[in-house]
Each structure stands twice: as structure tokens, then as C-alpha cells.
Chains A and B, each alone.
Chain A
Amino acid sequence: MTQQPRTQSEIDRLRETVLALEQQVAQVIVGQHEVVRGVTIALLAGGHVLLEGLPGLGKTMLVRSFAQALRLRDSRIQFTPDLMPADVTGTNVLVEREDGRRTFEFQPGPIFANLVLADEINRATPKTQAALLEAMQEGRVTVGTSSHELPRPFFVLATQNPIELEGTYPLPEAELDRFFFKLQVGFPSRQELVEIVQRTTGPDGHRPYAIADAQTILALQELVREVPAASHVVDYAARIVLATHPDLPAALEVTRRFIRLGASPRAAQALILAGKIHAVLAGRLNASYEDVRRVAVPALRHRLILNYDAQVNGVTADAVIRQILARVPEEA
């Protein structure tokens, strides 16, 4: 049964929603337009975002602003070395009923929310970090022998401090791969810093208005997936991902020199899906090479494992990705 074609009004509504959302977030977050756009794209794609930045740059405020603007249920988990998986997912507790019987009843953890802020995620032990794997990929949590569905939409916005290494546990590759984007939260400019000070030291702060709810987000997620991408554009994304693998024939010189482990197929999915959303937000109804290139850095930077040579020479994943993008031709 063929579904009814989409109408232009649906596309217009999507754009208006996104623009309004970004405007509301911008009422609280000064600057950081790329980060806001990246989080928006990840929300529409149903992906998770890893925010990396120094303390005090508004990462938590950003997440909270999105939650308020989208009228979503949000929660915050402060990751510490002694945080246990059950503290994240929840646990079965012994409950005494009215009839005197005692039964185990699942007590949901803070992960049961639409928007979860995993603050300083790299401070938790790998065991606790691994508790997020199932939730991030499959949208459910298994405790004991029973699985519990997470509310939809479900977003994990994790933050980590790139400077402090003492008492931190780098995220495993499997968990890194589950983040749709990794966004770098940079330091604000002078004007932005002045604006931040003025806003936060005044009598009353601005609270974002709710623009959409969970159902609207889910509808928009469904809509953006229907944006067509030509086969040669998908092939371009695939060739970019293949070029990140040093042991494959398509590997470039920069790949062989600086990359130890390339991006996974999830990276290609992220490139195309994010490219579609970028195209819609740019006013088009199809993904293009340019869209893929524009989303390649946040989609790939956390999926490339650099080798020792790159670390010694101070080569970043972003630089490697830009070189790959410059060398992979559009036409195969």
C-alpha cells in the first residue's frame, strides 16, 4: 500500500520548527551556532551527541535548553568513578505489597527520560559506561531478565572534558561509535562572552518556550528519513568511510600514516542521514555531496582511532578528515 506523498506544508513545518527551536535555544545559549545546529540535526536523526568542551561553556545549559524548548522529559546523570550501572539504568527493588507479599519491582533509573544529559561521561568506569550501550543503540534497558523500553524520543547528550585525564576512563570504541555526532564546544568570542555575562548576571534569566513535543519530534524524524539521496551521493559517503581504513585498498596516504582504526558502517549511515537533514534545512529536498561534506567532521571525528604517529605529531582527527574529504573525488 503506497503512502500518500508528502506535501510542501510538511516540509515547511519542519523548517519552521527547527528555526524556532534554534531561536529559543539561542535565547539562552550565546553563540555556538554550529553546536546548536549539530544537536538539532542529531535530534532529528534520532542520534546521540557527545559534546566535548571545557567546563563552564554551557554544555549542561545547552542540553537543558533543548529539553525545555522541546517539552521533553530530561534527566541528568553526573558520572563519577563510583557510579554503578544500576545508578544509570535502575534496579529491581524489593517491594512489600498490601497483602504482605514481597516482590521485586523495577525502579527506573535516570536514563528513563527523553533527553539524558550524561555529564562528564568519561569519569565513570567502563562498566558503567557500558550500561549505556544497549540504551543508546536499541532504546531499551535490560535489568536482570527483563527488558524495559525507554521513552521515545530518546537522546543522550554526553559531555566530556578533553583536558582532565586524571581519574578518567576513555570511552570504549563501541560506545563512541554509538554517538551520532561529536561536537566541539569552543570558547566564546569576546562579544559572546560579554553577552553571556550580561544575560546571566541580570535579574532574571530567559526560559525557552516550548516549540514542539515528543510527537512532533518523532514525526519530523520520520519525515527527514524520506528525503531522497541519489545513489552516487550514497556511494560518495561510502567511499569516504572506506578511505578512513588504512588496511583497505581505498585508503589514502594520510590514512595509512595517521589512522589505526577507521570508521564503522554507522559512520556512513550518519553521513547520509545527517546529509539529508542538512539538505532539508538548507532548502533542498535531496542530499548532495556538499551536505555529506558539511556533516562529515562531526560524524567521523570520534570514529577514527588515530595511531601513535598522529598523537606524537599533534595531528587531530579533524585534520585527517579534512584531508580525506579533499582527496576523495565526487565522481568515482
Chain B
Amino acid sequence: MQPTIRLARYNRPNLGEGEQAMSTPHRDPFDLHRAIYEMRWQLGTELLLRILLYAVGAGLIAAALTHAVAGVLVLDLPPAITIGALLLPLLAGLAITALCWPSAMQAARVVDRRFGLHERLSTAVELTQQPESLARARLALLQVRDAARAAEEVRRSWPPLVDRVRRELLISGGSALLAFALLLLPRLGLVELAALLPWTQPAQPGLAEPGMVAPELDVIEQPVGTLPESQMGELHTIDPAAAQAAEHAAAQRQALDRLAQALAEVSVGQAAAQAIQQGEYQTAAAELSQLAENVDQLSPEAKERLAAALHEAAQDPSSQQSRLAELEQRASEALTGADYEAQRRALEELAEEIARLGQSATDAAGDPPDELSEQLPTAGGTETAGNPGSMEGASGAGGERWQDGRATAGGTEGGSGTGNSGQAGSSLGPQPGGIEQGQQAGGEQAGGGGERPAMSLDHATPRLETSGMPVEVPAQLTLGSGESLPVGENAQPALSVNSPVAAVAGVGGDAPEVMPLPPEQNLVPGDRRRLIQEYFDGEGHESSP
């Protein structure tokens, strides 16, 4: 509600005598225009403030909405978008204000309407803007004087700017609160809810991520090629050939990882990079081939970034894949040139190399050396428990071994074999099937037909579900393929993953022993490893294949 000035004093205006008006005929139009000029600035400032307040509110809401949408869709939001959402309404508001800055007539009409002046000012402005009218209308000067006095009265009683934009201040404040609420939406669980949406799922949801596997299953998820130096040295002493194969696999994996990192630096290569990181080399090769086919569609900047990333990957001093590094360098050089065919060819060759490396890794996983398969579980189970690193190729090999039921650790590592079977499946075929298959095989082998809580990786059992809780693993050794050891004298004691000491101490006992221990104790102390090793290599070896 705008204030209305009581104009009782104007109902019978005391405009002075006409003789006085004749003596200063031009004074009143001058005073009127001066008052109107001030009103224009007042109204213009008010308009500017109003529009800016609206713009601030709109910008806040737009930025918050953008953030909320990006949070729901799990998109990475560049800061420029946020700044643009904030600044664009402000700039638009400034432009609108400049275009709508009130003229003298507009200001007069607004003041007339707002203060109930009955078109005094607008009539006077119109008269003064048309000198011939001012000269012709004999009442014009009196009317202008009346208007000038009314304008002066209005100017003195002009309400403060804050009072005039109170509504806009409230709206802007409400918009800020709304924007704040929108920013809080991700914290209210909406993002987690949205994560269940199909398009926000990972490419391979069935694939067990390292952090989503129970710690006891992480024992042999540790890839062979990434074993610590101490373990690698131990492996060298046990089986130099196996160690060499492990180092070769690790080198392959590192080279592919560098390539994945390089491809991930450009948006067009992220699909291939993600496929490499997930161990889907054939998919990665296909993605890279598609990129090669469409290389002419890339912008010069994208090609430049991709070339730089490939060059960096090729120049990595630790690279041991000369062929891959060579192809990376070739692709980098081709991308810096202008020959599309050369670029396409170089990327195609790189894709073929990735496919070849992936195939070799798969082959290696499917046919591991017996010695390695016999030794690795021990090493992995004793030293790398709980290490969340995962390498599909190498661990896939372990999984296959477990799936074959040839794990010497038998029941102790059977649960671990489940996870690795899934990993192996990830590179060999449909993930859920592989996971189920591996789980079934491992479980049956480990349990020897006994009951074991089903652990489906489809549900991505989080680590916290078992962390800190006792894990009971029937540690009965099996002969593989789900065949249980004979009960009686040859019966193997229950070997708890959590307590190898207790399990070893129970050797010779009649009943399987289950020792509930928290997963963080699911480690074989270093001073006991020899004992376990001897157990597998010595008396109890008859139970091993």
C-alpha cells in the first residue's frame, strides 16, 4: 500500500495572485521540472533496487536449482554455471532498468497515481513540454504552479527507499531461504534416493567394488601383481616363474591404468577409461574404436588434450609395455597432426592393443601355473587381508582357481574365493552369473556341503555389515568341486579365517571348530605363517590336490 498524501491544502490551492504569476511566469515550470527530475532519479533508483532484488532472488534460486539437479543427476557442475546462474539475472536486471528508466512523463504519472495527485503533475508536464499549449491555455500557468507546489510537497514527504521496496526485500529474502533449502536437499537423502534411479547406476552394478566386499573376502582380492615388495620377494623365493608372471601382469595393469587415466582426462575418452578400469577391455577397445571412427568430430581442443594425455602416458618412465607405449605415442603424434585417417588408424591400433592385452590377461587368468595357484592363497591370505585394492585380471585368476575348488586353503579361503570368482566373472562374462557361480562354487567347496550364510554380491554387501562382527567361516578343507573331506581320522579341523592360530591348534581334533573373531583380526600373524605353510606342505598336504 503506497502512502497517499492528504491534499486537503490543494483542494483550494492558494496559488497567489495572478499579478505575481505574471511577474515570474517561468519560475513554476522550472521548479516543476526540477522536482520531476528528482522524482525520476528516485523512481529509477527504486526500480533498479526492485529489479536487482528480484534478480538476486532469481539468481539464488536458479543456482540452487542447478546444484540440486546436478546433485540428483550426479553431474559434475562447473563453477562457471553457478556464477552464470547468479550473474545472468543481475545483468538482465541492469539492462531492463536501463531500458525502463522513467521519463519525465512516466515519473509524473507514477507520482500522480501513487500520491493521489489527480493527474496534476502529468498534466503540467505535458503543458510544459508543449510551449504552444502553455502559451495558448490561459489556465496553464496556474495549473503548472499548482502542480509544482504539489510536487514540492510530495518531494518532501517522499517515503524512504526501504519502505518502498519492502515487498521486494521480503520476496528476495524468501527466495534466499528457498535457495538455501534447495541446497540442503542433497543432505536430506534425496541424492541417495536418486542414486537408485537407473541412469545413476554404475555401468556394472553387479560388479563387486573393493569397498563393498566383506573384509574377509578382500584377503585374496589383492592382485598378485600389486603385492608388496616383501611378499613379492617371498614369492620369488617360492616360485620365480610365478613371481615373474605376477610382475608381468602387474606391469600390464599399470600400463592400462595409465592409459585409462589419460583417456579419462578428456570427456570423449571417459567411456573407454571407465571400461578399462572395470576390466572390460573388449568394451574399452570398442569404445576406442568408436572414438577413432568419430575422431573427425572432435574439437581441436579435445584432440589436443587427448594427445597430451596419451603422450604423458607413453612417456611414463615406469612403463614396461613398449608396444602399448609406442602406440600411445603414435596416437598422440597423429592427434597433433591434421590427418584424420592417420588419427583414426592410430587409435584403432591402440584399441586393438588394448583388446589384445585384455585377452592375454584373461587367458592368463584362465590357465595359471599350478605352483602359483598353490602358493598364492597362502601369501594373499596371510599378508593382504583387508587390503581393498582389486585387480580384476589377477584376482580373476585367483577366483578361477577357487572356483575350480583347488584352493589349498580350502574352507579358510573359500569365502574369499567367492569374491574372486565374481571378479573373474566380471572379465569373462555377465557379472551376476559369474558372481553367483563363483559364490556357489566357493561356498560349497568351502563348506563341504555344510550350511553357510549366503552372501550375494548382487546386493553389494557393504563392508560395514561385517566389519566389527564375528565372522564364522567353516574352515573345513575340501577336495574341490564341492567334495568334502571324509569325516573321521582324515577329517580336517575347522580352520577359522579369523584365528589361524586357534585353527591350527585344533588340528587333530574331532569336531570342526568355529572361532568367532572380529574381521580386523582376520590375519595370520607373520610368525605363524611358516607353521601354516608347513601344515599345507607337510602332514595335511594329503588333503590338497
Report if A226 contacts B (CB, 8 A).
yes
Asked if A185 CB lies within 8 Å of chain B CBs, one says no
> Which among B12, B13, B142 is the interface contact of A5 at CB below 8 angstroms?
B142
Interface string of A1-45 (1 = CB under 8 A from B): 011111111110001000000000000000000000000000000
Tell me, in angstroms, the Cα distance from A284 to B122 when the chains sit together: 13
Tell whether A8 pairs with B18 under 8 Å between CB atoms, given A226-B139, A228-B127, A284-B10. Answer: yes
Can you pick out 14 interface pairs between chain A and chain B where the beta carbons lie within 8 Å of each other?
A4-B138, A5-B18, A5-B140, A5-B142, A7-B19, A8-B15, A8-B21, A8-B142, A228-B137, A230-B126, A232-B122, A283-B13, A284-B120, A286-B124
**B146 CB contact (under 8 Å) in A5, A7, A226, A285:** A285
Question: Do A286 and B21 touch across chains, with their CB atoms under 8 A apart?
Answer: no
Cβ of A227 < 8 Å from any Cβ of B?
Answer: yes
User: Which of A3, A6, A228, A231 has the most chain B CB within a 10 Å cutoff?
Assistant: A228
Contact across chains for A285 and B139 when beta carbons are under 8 A apart: yes
Most central of B12, B16, B119, B137 by chain A CB within 10 Å: B119
B141: interface (CB < 8 Å): yes
Given known contacts A9-B17, A231-B126, A290-B118, is B141 in contact with A282 (CB within 8 Å)?
no
Within 8 A of B (CB), among A114-140: none
Which residues of A sit under 8 angstroms from B122, Cβ to Cβ? Answer: 230, 232
How close is B250's CB to chain A, nearest CB, in angstroms?
80
B22 CB–A CB distance under 8 Å: yes
A283 to B142, CA, bound (A): 12
Q: Please report the C-alpha to C-alpha distance between residue A230 and residue B105 in the assembled complex, in whole angstroms.
A: 11
* Contact in complex: B120, A286 (CB < 8 Å): yes
The 7 A-B pairs at the shortest CB distance, nearest first, are namely A7-B18, A283-B11, A288-B118, A286-B123, A230-B123, A285-B143, A288-B119
Q: Kindly state the interface size class of chain A when it binds its partner.
A: 20 to 34
CA distance A284 to B120 in the complex (A): 8
Residue in A closest to B122 when the chains form the complex, CB atoms: A230
* In the assembled complex, B135 has its CB within 8 A of some CB on chain A: yes
CA A289 to CA B124, docked complex, whole Å = 15
- Confirm or deny: A233 has a beta carbon within 8 angstroms of a beta carbon on chain B: yes
The answer to whether A284 and B146 have CB atoms under 8 Å apart is: yes
Of the residues A9, A231, A330, contact of B18 by C-beta under 8 Å: A9
B109 contacts chain A at the CB level, 8 A cutoff: yes
A287 interface contact, C-beta 8 A: yes
Q: What is the distance, in angstroms, from B460's C-beta to the closest C-beta of chain A? A: 65
- Is B136 in contact with chain A by the CB < 8 A criterion? yes
Contact with B along A209-246 (1 / 0, CB 8 A): 00000000000000100111111110000000000000
CB distance from A227 to the nearest CB of B (A): 6
- Per the bound structure, the CA–CA distance linking A55 and B140 in Å amounts to 45
A321-332 interface bits toward B, Cβ cutoff 8 Å, 1 = contact, 0 = none: 000000000110
Task: Tell yes or no: A273 within 8 A of B by CB.
Answer: no
Q: Are A227 and B118 closer than 8 Å at their CB atoms?
A: no
Contact across chains for A5 and B21 when beta carbons are under 8 A apart: yes
Report how far A10 CA is from B109 CA in the complex, Å.
28
Are the CB atoms of A289 and B119 closer together than 8 Å? yes
Residues of A within 8 A of B140 (CB): 5, 228
Q: Nearest-CB distance from A9 to chain B (Å)?
A: 6
**CB nearest to A224 among chain B residues:** B139
What chain B residues lie within 8 Å of A9 (beta carbons)?
Answer: 17-18
Q: With A7-B18, A8-B16 known to touch, is A228 a contact of B135 (CB < 8 Å)?
A: no
Query: Which chain B residues (65-121) contact chain A, with CB distance < 8 Å?
Result: 109, 113, 118-120
**CB within 8 Å for A228 and B123 given contacts A5-B142, A6-B139:** yes
When chains A and B are docked, how far (Å) is the Cα of A201 from the Cα of B137? 50
Query: Complex Cα distance A229/B123, Å?
Result: 7
Residues of B within 8 A of A279 (CB): 118
Known A5-B140, A226-B138, A227-B139; contact A286-B17, beta-carbon cutoff 8 A = no
- Residue of A4, A7, A223, A232 touching B17 (CB-CB under 8 A): A7
Q: Which of B11, B17, B113, B126 contacts A8 (CB 8 A)?
A: B17
How far, in angstroms, from A230 to B113 measured CA to CA in the complex?
14
Chain A neighbourhood of B135, CB < 8 A: 2
A2 and B139 within 8 A (CB): no
Task: State A130–B11 Cα separation when bound (angstroms).
Answer: 43
Distance (whole angstroms) from the CB of A221 to the closest CB of chain B: 14
B453 to chain A, nearest CB (A): 77
Separation in Å of the B91 CB from the closest CB of chain A?
29
**Known A228-B140, A288-B118: A5·B22 in contact at CB below 8 Å:** yes
Considering the complex, give the chain A residue whose CB is closest to the CB of B127.
A228
Q: Mark A266-307, 1 if CB is under 8 A from B, else 0.
A: 000000000000010011111111110000000000000000
A258 CB to nearest chain B CB (Å): 30
Q: Which residues of B contact A3 (CB under 8 A)?
A: 138
Residue of A nearest to B124 (CB): A286
Interface code B1-28, partner A: CB below 8 Å = 1, 0 otherwise? 0000000001111011111011001000
Give min CB distance, A138 to chain B, whole Å: 26
CB contact list, B127-152 vs A, under 8 A: 127, 133, 135-143, 146-147
Q: Which of B21, B120, B138 has the most CB of A within 10 A?
A: B138
B contact residues around A231 at 8 Å (CB): 126
| Bound Cα distance from A27 to B12, whole angstroms | 25
Q: Mark B424-456, 1 if CB is under 8 A from A, else 0.
A: 000000000000000000000000000000000
CA distance A233 to B126 in the complex (A): 11
Q: State the CA gap A331–B122 with chains docked (Å).
A: 13
- The residue from A2, A223, A284 contacting B118, defined by CB atoms under 8 A apart: A284
